Structure 1
Amino acid sequence: MTKDIETPALLRAGISWPAVSGGAFVAAAVSIMLISLGAGFGFSAVSPEAGNNPSAFTFTVWAAIWLIVVQWISSFFGGYLAGRLRAPLLSAHSREVMFRDTAGGFVAWAVAVVFTAAIIGSGAFSLAGSAGKASGHIAAAAVSKNTDMPSGYMLDALFRPAQPDNVTGNASEGKNPAPEAARILATAATGSISPQDRDYLTKLVAARTGTSAEDAGQRVDRAIAMENEAISKAKHAAELARKAAASLAFYTFFSMLVGAFIACVAGAIGGRQRDALQRTEAEF
């Protein structure tokens, strides 16, 4: 019955980088594979033509569950291989061996997370850059003096003649009041419209369309109400997106905690099985 002789290098090695690197690459590959699978399921479950798409809350919950599954499976494979592929430390204390195997699994998980984040983050940054450019174009259009902004439909409704087939001479002559009215509506959309602006806008609409002051005032009130409603809907959509993003961030954090724990446990399991097989071979 012989006993293996360990080299001093193995005794001094605090971590086995080849084993850690192998486990990290496997964990990253499994993560990317499972994330792609989850994205496929997500795109299959949502369709712009379907009327029964899941709500944002339901979709976020399913995404969170899938993130935990991804971390669980990929971290187990990575941590287990990092512990199993490490060279045995037969002359070290069992607690020291277990700690190094556990640390190897944890480090393999950390390397895999950084590697996967770098790959996914590059695409995310590219997407964010495109979104930023689009937002810049939208913002530039919003502050421009284009008569179609901020609400082309509202302006059309505001200056629609009382008799479409009998447009008065004032409607086809003189200065176009639409740009000035657009600026007044934009000011009203910030919160409220002053009585002076409303009266002036009412007189402008009445003079342009040939309607009575009462009818013109009703048109002005409807236009302001429609614009405020559109702004409220936009704020509500932004609030829902903010809550979904916050929930997804928290779920990602908890799923990563689960992944770190699983990687540590898997590293210890892999190291225990490695040493058990080593002792069995030594006995024979």
Structure 2
Amino acid sequence: MSAEGLGISTIIWLTFTQIIASGLGGYLAGRLRVKWANMHGTEVYFRDTAHGFLAWAVATLVTATLLIGSASHIVSSGVQAGASVASGAATATLQAAGNMARDTSSQDYGYFIDSLFRNDSPSSSSDDAIHAVVVRIFAKSLSNDGQMASQDRAYLVQLIAQRTNLSQAEAEQRLDQVYAQTRQAVEDAKMAAKKAADTATTIAAWTSLWMFVALLCGAFFASFAATLGGRQRDAVTYVDDLGHTSEAIHVSPPSLKS
């Protein structure tokens, strides 16, 4: 199932369960409440509605509490399991952190260190060393709004010409082409990251909106079902100790005229 289909089915299921569960809870709250014999119909209707709404509110609060408790239990279990593993991996973690710090420092200052040892015969270096130098020049240029320094461009053109036996014009053309492709790849990656962030924000906003709509439906149906339960409660037949039966007074909801 696609992400859109999964989201729609989740919203439908959440709304359906809210309507059914809240309606059933509201109906029971209205049906099982003690009958008030000498009370105006408007007051009875209001109290039935309030009982249904309170039943929905208490159920929602209990559900939220259980979910938070379950999440806390899962997190605490994960922390305990992680603590037993972390004690044995502490040394390896510190060593990896030290290596990462040295690698980051090398990347930050590698470009300037390479500039100290540039010569007129760059082709004498190994392929790995040359590739590392080009990567650092590209990274420095891309971080500078994509503008490559003139001395870096001249050095790369000379390097390409010497190692590929191309003319200077052909080397310049190849450098411009490859660097343009690199800039485009970086821009595409930035756009993809921005699009992913915008999508996540949109999903979060729509999820919150539909969650509110589902809860609102639950509150409405709980209140409405409580009034239905109250009507059936008031319409039941009562039997006294002497065996006489009597019909309960049916209280209708207030009309606009009343």
Partners of 2:231 and 2:149 in 1: CA distance = 82
Change (3 A) 1:174 1:74: closer
What code does the residue aligned with 1:66 have?
Answer: W
Question: Does 2:203 match 1:256?
Answer: no
Question: Does 2:17 match 1:70?
Answer: yes
User: Highest CA radius of gyration, 1 or 2?
Assistant: 2
Identity of paired residues, percent? 31
The one-character-per-residue Cα deviations of 1:57-113 (angstroms, maximum 9, x if unpaired) are 333222222221111111111111111222222222232122111101101111111
RMSD: 3.8
Give the equivalent residue in structure 1 for 2:137.
181
Contact 2:123 2:159 (C-alpha < 8 Å) held by counterparts: no
For CA contacts below 8 A with separation 6 or more, give which structure has more relative contact order.
Answer: 2
Change (3 A) 1:205 1:75: farther
Contact 2:123 2:163 (C-alpha < 8 Å) held by counterparts: yes
Partners of 1:201 and 1:121 in 2: CA distance = 58
Q: How far does residue 117 in structure 1 lie from its aligned partner after superposition?
A: 2.2
Q: How far does residue 216 in structure 1 lie from its aligned partner after superposition?
A: 2.4
The one-character-per-residue Cα deviations of 1:241-283 (angstroms, maximum 9, x if unpaired) are 2222212221111111111110001111112212222x44466
Contact 2:22 2:219 (C-alpha < 8 Å) held by counterparts: yes
Secondary structure of the 1:69 match is helix
Secondary structure of the 1:90 match is coil
Give the equivalent residue in structure 1 for 2:37.
90
Instruction: Provide TM-score, normalisation by structure 2.
Output: 0.62
Give the equivalent residue in structure 2 for 1:159.
none
Q: Using the TM superposition, name which of 87-96 and 66-75 deviates more.
A: 87-96
Partners of 1:207 and 1:122 in 2: CA distance = 63
Aligned length: 197
Q: 1:193 aligns with which of 121, 146, 165?
A: 146
Contact 1:68 1:258 (C-alpha < 8 Å) held by counterparts: yes
Change (3 A) 1:202 1:220: farther
Partners of 2:25 and 2:49 in 1: CA distance = 12
Give the equivalent residue in structure 2 for 1:115.
62
Q: 1:223 aligns with which of 182, 191, 205?
A: 182
Question: Does 2:125 match 1:170?
Answer: yes
Instruction: Provide TM-score, normalisation by structure 1.
Output: 0.57
Q: How far does residue 169 in structure 1 lie from its aligned partner after superposition?
A: 2.8
Structure 1: tracts of 5 or more residues without a match: 1-52, 131-140, 150-166
Partners of 2:207 and 2:185 in 1: CA distance = 33
Q: 1:246 aligns with which of 201, 205, 212?
A: 205
Change (3 A) 1:219 1:261: same
Contact 1:101 1:267 (C-alpha < 8 Å) held by counterparts: yes
Partners of 2:140 and 2:73 in 1: CA distance = 38
